[in-house]
Structure 1
Amino acid sequence: MLEYSYLDLYLPRGTSREAARRVLTEHAEYGDWELERLRLYPDGSRRVRLRRKIIRVVRTM
């Protein structure tokens, strides 16, 4: 069974689409995060939830 760790980000209103894309791209490239959910509110703010797999090492002996 896969386990994930989550990271919640808040992007305030007035954040350009390009700036939001840049932030999410950096998290994806350097932290191995993937987009789980992006919610755009009527005032222009965004809530983003990123996730990445937790890899557990199993001891073999």
Structure 2
Amino acid sequence: MSYEAGSTECRGLIEAKESLIKAMKSLSSIGDLDHIQKKLRDVYNELEQLHESRRIKESNDIN
């Protein structure tokens, strides 16, 4: 896992996103799974939005 300072919640989101990336890479060589790849990308994007919200909140809490 790549290191990023932050809360336990942020680290959990980072781990989840990295797991999704790994899953998408694993599935990329299997045919006819485009619909699953799209769902995984959608979940990844949702987690990225949550992570960005956490980063902003934590940044505001520090200032």
TM-score band w.r.t. shorter chain: 0.3 to 0.5
Of Structure 1 and Structure 2, which has the larger fraction of its residues in strand? Answer: 1
The structure number with the bigger radius of gyration is 1
Q: Name the structure where helix makes up a greater proportion of residues.
A: 2
Using the size of structure 2 for normalisation, the TM-score is: 0.37
